[in-house]
Amino acid sequence: NAGVTQTPKFRILKIGQSMTLQCTQDMNHNYMYWYRQDPGMGLKLIYYSVGAGITDKGEVPNGYNVSRSTTEDFPLRLELAAPSQTSVYFCASESGMNTEAFFGQGTRLTVV
């Protein structure tokens, strides 16, 4: 059982470049989330989804986009990378029964 898989684990981007962080879960969870964690800080919600075709903004959505075409996949898109987006990004999924959120291993992104 793979759980939540994020790729890549590390990435360096130049200012203005774009990229997509991939997130896949194999637990048939309806709820999926994207968080960013700045050094020494907590997790801030970027976007979330309660099911395929449904997405909504979290606390810090500016500069990001998401889509949810399938239950399994929830990619996060950065269109014009900025140094302020340097962070560790976590994808998470949850069944919707408020039991436990499962997290990916994180993607460390550096924008230079």
Sequence length of the chain is 112
Residue bearing tokens 């998401």: 66
Shortest Cβ 28–other proteins spacing (Å) = 16
Three-state SS for 85?
helix
d(CA 95, CA 78): 26
Is residue 52 close enough to count as binding other proteins by CB under 8 A?
no
Shortest Cβ 38–other proteins spacing (Å) = 10
Binding site for other proteins (CB under 8 A): 31, 33, 35, 40-45, 48, 50, 54, 58, 88, 90, 92, 94, 96, 98-101, 103, 105-106
